[in-house]
Structure 1
Amino acid sequence: MANFIADQLQSIDATTLKQELDQDKITLIDVREPSEYAGEHIFGSISMPLSTFDPNKLPINNSKPFILYCQTSNRSSQAAQKLFAAGFKNITHLQGGLNAWKQAKYPTIVNKNVPISIMRQVQIIAGSLVLIGTLLGAFVSPNFLFLSGFVGAGLLFAGITNTCMMAQLLAKLPYNQRV
């Protein structure tokens, strides 16, 4: 397993995580939103979405350390910061998240009967807003181009910070909360 240093987020690779899971040595916590977890997750993981993440509700088993994961390892880093702020030490997350797990060709539990992913929802909405802003700007008033620029600035911010406000808002919608 990864070497732990107090108050530093440690990373574990997919291969090591698989070995730890197979030997039942860890508790795996998925911090993605409920709809994402319902659509696909690593077998044996526990859903604790970042949007409602509460360090006090962490299923602690003193004999097993826990490891966080999300889609890419951004949200698991954010959950780790909440844990550090709550006084936890020795936090570990899956480097590269579920994407790295799947890239290593490890199995996941997939359910095709769930809403589309948050990121696809963001792409559809952002693309629609840019298209509508551009068409209205070209055919109605150039002032509508502001809408396209605003969405573009939001996407640029999301890319730079790896934090998407639109995704966080969409995650709170009722159909994305169903599991």
Structure 2
Amino acid sequence: MTSTPNLDVSAAQALLHGDPAIQVVDVRTPAEYAAVHIPGALNLSLDQIETHPQRIAAAAAGPILLVCQTGGRATRAYGVLTGAGLDQAQILAGGMNAWTAEAGPTARLDGRPRWGLERQVRLVAGGIVASSIAASLRWPRARFLAGAIGAGLAFAAVTDTCAMGMALAKLPYNRGPRFDLDHSLAKLRSRGTGGESQEQA
């Protein structure tokens, strides 16, 4: 694999077509994965990766391509896994947003559309800001809550992290059908030894 961990969509598609041993690992929540994902992708959510980095790194017998919604969570997963000894990982730059914008092939486990975490963060943050500004007409100090949200969003942009998104990921709406870790790791091992990747169900 190339030395840079980031691949744009066209480079990722060429890599996937040229090397069938590469496993796409989707690090989003199970609900996001169920709504739309790259065909053949394996769902190992970021919280699973952060909880079991050594097990997952050891199971990755072949190269993997990490995918999330925009690239932030995949970058975080990359750091965790390479720290655990994985040396054959790359990241889809721009995540599923870039993939779908380039009309990349997609699959889904159910027909119900779901909002991605980034969209949920915008809704919650915008709702809090609007509510606090309205409340400040009666309680002036409420405007400080809007300022805190703005500061939090600026910090999230600078650090490429999002505490609100991580909190929302814990909600039942975003949990979806969680996949058995042992089953997922068996598929990861199989892919690395020449086995065929299959959709999780």
Contact 1:35 1:114 in 2 (8 A): no
Contact 2:133 2:146 in 1 (8 A): yes
Deviation sequence 1:19-67 (CA, Å, 0-9, x none): 34345231110111112111110000000111221221358353x3212
Deviation sequence 1:125-157 (CA, Å, 0-9, x none): 11111111111111x121111111111111111
Contact 1:26 1:67 in 2 (8 A): yes
Show the counterpart of 1:102: 100
Equivalent of residue 39 in structure 1, options 23, 35, 38 = 35
Shift of 1:13: 3.0
Q: Could you tell which deviates more after superposition, 100-109 or 41-50?
A: 100-109
Which amino acid in structure 1 is aligned with residue 164 of structure 2?
A: M
Which amino acid in structure 1 is aligned with residue 95 of structure 2?
A: G
CA distance in 1, matches of 2:58, 2:102: 27
CA distance in 1, matches of 2:30, 2:113: 10
Deviation sequence 1:96-118 (CA, Å, 0-9, x none): 22222223221111444154221
Give the gaps of 5 or more residues in structure 1. Answer: none
Alignment of 1:1-179 (within 5 A): 2-4=1-3, 10-22=5-17, 24-53=20-49, 54-55=52-53, 56-57=55-56, 60=59, 62=61, 64-110=62-108, 111-138=110-137, 140-179=138-177
Contact 1:42 1:107 in 2 (8 A): yes
Contact 1:10 1:90 in 2 (8 A): no
Contact 2:28 2:73 in 1 (8 A): yes
Is the alpha carbon distance of 1:61 and 1:169 closer, same or farther for their aligned partners in structure 2, counting shifts above 3 Å? closer
CA distance in 1, matches of 2:115, 2:135: 28
Question: If the length of structure 2 is used for normalisation, what is the TM-score?
Answer: 0.76
May I ask how many residue pairs the two structures share in their alignment? 172
CA distance in 1, matches of 2:142, 2:123: 19
SS in structure 2 at match of 1:72: coil
Question: If the length of structure 1 is used for normalisation, what is the TM-score?
Answer: 0.85
Greater relative contact order (Cα < 8 A, sep 6+): 2
CA distance in 1, matches of 2:97, 2:134: 36
Q: Could you tell which deviates more after superposition, 162-171 or 82-91?
A: 82-91
Q: What CA RMSD, in Å, does the superposition of the two structures yield over aligned residues?
A: 2.0
Is the alpha carbon distance of 1:99 and 1:121 closer, same or farther for their aligned partners in structure 2, counting shifts above 3 Å? closer
Task: Give me the identity figure in percent.
Answer: 35
CA distance in 2, matches of 1:84, 1:61: 11
Contact 2:8 2:92 in 1 (8 A): yes
